[in-house]
Amino acid sequence: MIPRLYTSQCFDFPRLLKQKIPRGGIFICVSFSLIIWFGSCLPLYVICAAPLQKQTTEEPSVAPLKGGPCPCQNPPETSKEANSVPPKADCDCPDIKAPENSKASSEQENKGPANDQKTTETELEKALQEYKTQIARVAATSSGSKGNGLLHQTKDYHGNFFEYLRNDAFDALPHQVRQANGTKSILRRNQFGFNLTGPLRIPWLYRGDGKTFFSVTYEGTREKIARPLLSNIPTALQRSGNFSDLVDNAGEPVTIYDPATTRPNPDFDPSQPVSLSNLEYLRDPFPGNVIPPERIDPVALRAAAYYPLPNTNVGPFLRNNFFVNSAETNTPNGTVWKLDHNIGKRHKFSWNGRFSNGLDGPAPVFDNIANPGTPPRRVRSRSTSFGETFNVSPTVVNQFNAYASYSALVNEAVDPSANYAQDLGLNGVRPGAFPRFDLTSYVDIGAQPGSLVRYQIANYVLSDGLSIRYKKHNLKMDFYGYWGQVNTFRPRNPSGRFSFSGLLTSLPGINNTGNSFAQFLLGLASRAEQSIVLDPSYFRSEQYQLTISDEYQLTPNFTWNFSLGLQVDTPRSEKFNRQSSLNLKLINPANQRPGALIFAGRDGRPRTFAPTQANWEPATSWALNPWGSRKTVIRGSYALSFASFPLYPTDFGTLGFNASPLLVSSNDQLLPAATLGLGFPQDFTPPPDLRPTAANDIKAEYFEPLGILPYEQSWRLEVERDLPADFVVRLAYQGERGVHQYIGDGIELNPLSPEVLSFRDQLNDLDFNLSLRPYPQFRGISPGYGYPVGSSFLHRGNLRVEKRFSHGLNFSLSYFFSKSIDNLLGGASPQNSNDLKAEKSLNPYDIRHQVSINYLYEFPLGEGRAFLNQGGWLQGLVAGWSLSGVAVFRSGTPVILTPLFNNTGHVAEALRVNVVPGVDPHVPHASAFQWFNPAAFDQPPDFTLGNGPRTEPTLRNPGAQNFDMSLTKRIPVPEDWTLELIMEAFNSFNHANLNNPDGLIGSKTNPNLNAGRIIGSSGGRVVQLGLRFSF
């Protein structure tokens, strides 16, 4: 037998019983699942139930309705749990990645590792994943207890040692590296460990044969893998102040202007729009497009020295001139301990503990202290659980479980006492990190926001489930209690953040002039901010759930289940009441307008900003064997489920106790917000500041006061049919509707109405701009991550044909069709926060079609097989070989288009393109040279909104295909030992998948010649060698 899942089911079990045995305590369906493996021993369960209530399928999570990642994407290089289950080799879930934005499109940043790495899955993990899917298809409801299964009881000791190796010497050079003229892409991966399982025996003290069993597993990984990045940095001429080589997206020269020469135009006609012939302000260009050395800010000059020099010329023009393929490191270690103990036949106890730690070192963008990437992070995790199963009687079972977990993260390479700002000559900011400088269209300089983060997360769970079998009813009552704690210290911009738009070196009101790096060299920031966090925050949250269900067998062919749950959620509180939020009705003393800051637990207010929520969660499901046939099963289900209040490690909602000073230019085309050489102004009140005006003149933070929780309705219909020759076919449909979904933190609650666009260039004046907003005392209002105004719809179909294992062959073919529509933004901004209906479109991650093929074939050679079965050395050489693999073909995600310029006076947070009527966006025989027709879209005129959708409904990015294969040789050795040699090839045929096309759309006068074209591809074959010894 090979390592895989073996399942046997028996329906209408009483027919097989002897007549003298009563039927009252016997389940109608018995499902026995046996996992055979050469590796770690994990719990073996015998589960018996009827149809599925909340089914788990292997279908792709096309659009996570609540913003979560694909549930199977948890590779050990990102997960710090030693026993983390890596992505399924046959996972049907699409890659979840951020939508393209203008900067990403121009830089063609690669989204994955240079070697297109995939994480290997052991045979045990494959079996466990298949086992969970099979159990989900049989089980009608999930028990309130969390995993009380017992270890496989045996009198012998079993275990294994394993080693998996990867080295780029065996791999193909990734396509994206070769296209950037790279010659090497580092990949070193060593995954190793052991497992030992058996009865617990302590010499001279205890012998647990037949009663007490243990399992201990260790796994470690040492990994170094290249992460490619292709982007834009200033040229050698530009960093000296010489911009004679500066060109736009059409290759035309771009002029930079001297902001010191700005003056009103006496001939300006205010009744006409600003144009080259009707300028409101005059400004002289720098002679020769060169900034004189004496005008370069000394702080900017020192910071610019941390930029590396361009090292490639992918283009077009001077774009994509910097390629880095530095290595990411990962060194996790983890152990898993399990202990099971039986007391007679009625009590079963289980305990398990998981302990892991490691250092995650993300790939640096710069090899110096100004690296704009994520710093190395030290992570650790601990968890333990205790469970008891008590068989009260043959028809009554109670399961109790207690669980606790702890995890912590600390950025490792950060010295809180280091004062990099002082080394640059930058005053007025706090030490600890390298100041951040954001430059439009270039790689940024300095520490990533949140680089000083450290947090601890603790979860505590108690659950109890009582199951009573009475005649044809299986009654269940489940209780679940959760207590969450997050202790976090997270200053977003600890040593200051300075932004440079380039508008101060432009001709005011005229697009395609000026440059952000030129403005940076002058030291003139358009925006400046910093975060002052004095103390950590100690956030708390609770959830309780009580569920009652009845599984009723109406007839031998029909089973029905109904459950009703009550879920109680408490909003986030803080241990010391250090929370704040805006009250949009409270009068602000500064201007006597509505909108002022309030504080939790003060002035008679409660400790939370929303009431505790109690919601009912009904669910029903059924299973039918029509016409008395055991070969056909029809299943259906419906469920209503609510989300809980989010609990994240963040500093959101702590204004007043912490401070976020913000400086914004009074007119970002005319005046700077701050000058680097003069430092960060100190004219702000340091924390703590518990006045109702503490959020004035900054971006305020707001908790939705009603505490509305997102909820989701899901329904499913499935037909499964057994066919001759061990074939099974399944046809399924699933629908989901999300209501009051968290829309994301990009929405603005203090927006400008599009009606004010008629004021045109006057909107660039900050005071005038703020006076038109609903709450002029605030620069903006953020609802954070918990604003429940989103909605979503998902329709998904699946056709699966599977051949069960026989004659050495097992394979399955699955086809998925899906359509996901929503207005969820994630971290992106809408075009108009007053009109969220306009954001309704295809989800940016929507994958319409997907086909996956999984197969396993044992070669018919050797003892007990059809060929070469006569013994001898030849049989030993050819026997025990098997070939397995997965092939995936999927369509692309929707194309996202972005205008080259956004000149709307801060009305549109994220401007859309205009759709040109009557022009077909498609091109015949689409290729990398021209993927779509950019003439079908246009840059909206100044001070107008675009009419295009958030995602294009008829344009798709390139699809992807991938082939993974594994060749295994099993070598039996004496005493029931087994040695396995494994060779795996990910992207076996070294197929290149095209990158997404450039989605920046210019105007007719300032076009982007690269619009609709694809720069490069990605992917590369990765080979892994494995050795596993089992005993």
For residue 111, what pLDDT is reported?
Answer: 38
For residue 868, what pLDDT is reported?
Answer: 78
pTM over 0.85: no
For residue 108, what pLDDT is reported?
Answer: 37
Residue 1013 lies in a domain: yes
Task: Fill in the amino acid letter for 3.
Answer: P
pLDDT > 90 fraction of the chain, expressed in percent and rounded: 74
pLDDT band at 744 (very low <50, low <70, confident <90, very high): confident
Give how many domains the chain has, as a whole number. Answer: 1
The mean per-residue pLDDT over the stretch 866-877 comes to 76
Q: Which three-class secondary structure state does DSSP give residue 51? A: coil
Phi, psi of 260 (to 5 degrees): -70, -15
The mean per-residue pLDDT over the stretch 122-142 comes to 36
Torsion of CA 811, 815, 821, 823, to 10 degrees: 30
Q: How many Å apart are CA 889 and CA 871, to the nearest integer?
A: 42
CB atoms within 10 A of CB 753: 14
What pLDDT digit, counting tens, does each position of 352-368 carry?
999 999 999 999 999 99
Predicted confidence (pLDDT) at residue 581 exceeds the cutoff of 80: yes
What pLDDT digit, counting tens, does each position of 784-810 carry?
988 999 999 999 999 999 999 888 899
Residue 911 lies in a domain: yes
Residue 92 lies in a domain: no
Of residues 242 and 10, more confidently modeled: 242
For residue 413, what pLDDT is reported?
Answer: 64
Predicted confidence (pLDDT) at residue 936 exceeds the cutoff of 60: yes
For residue 487, what pLDDT is reported?
Answer: 97
Instruction: Give the DSSP H or E segment for 493.
Output: none
Torsion of CA 371, 897, 91, 113, to 10 degrees: -30
What pLDDT digit, counting tens, does each position of 948-982 carry?
999 999 999 999 999 999 999 998 887 678 999 99
pLDDT band at 182 (very low <50, low <70, confident <90, very high): confident
What pLDDT digit, counting tens, does each position of 101-121 carry?
333 333 333 334 444 444 444
Angle at CA 889, nearest 5°, toward 799 and 123? 80
Residue 933 lies in a domain: yes
Tokens of 354: 């998981």
For residue 662, what pLDDT is reported?
Answer: 93
pLDDT band at 851 (very low <50, low <70, confident <90, very high): very high
DSSP label of 14: G
Residue 860 lies in a domain: yes
For residue 603, what pLDDT is reported?
Answer: 92
Q: What residues make up the domain containing 896?
A: 849-1030
Q: How many Å apart are CA 789 and CA 787, to the nearest integer?
A: 6
For residue 154, what pLDDT is reported?
Answer: 52
The mean per-residue pLDDT over the stretch 401-414 comes to 89
Beta bridge partners of 214: 198, 339
As separate numbers, helices (DSSP H) first and strands (DSSP E) second, the chain gives 9, 49
Residue 323 lies in a domain: no
Predicted confidence (pLDDT) at residue 224 exceeds the cutoff of 50: yes
What pLDDT digit, counting tens, does each position of 50-106 carry?
333 333 333 333 333 333 333 333 333 333 333 332 333 333 333 323 333 333 333
Residue 782 lies in a domain: no
The DSSP code sequence of 223-245 is EEEE--EEE----HHHHTTB-TT
Predicted confidence (pLDDT) at residue 475 exceeds the cutoff of 90: yes
The mean per-residue pLDDT over the stretch 860-867 comes to 81
E strand segments, 643-698: 662-664, 674-675
Residue 918 lies in a domain: yes
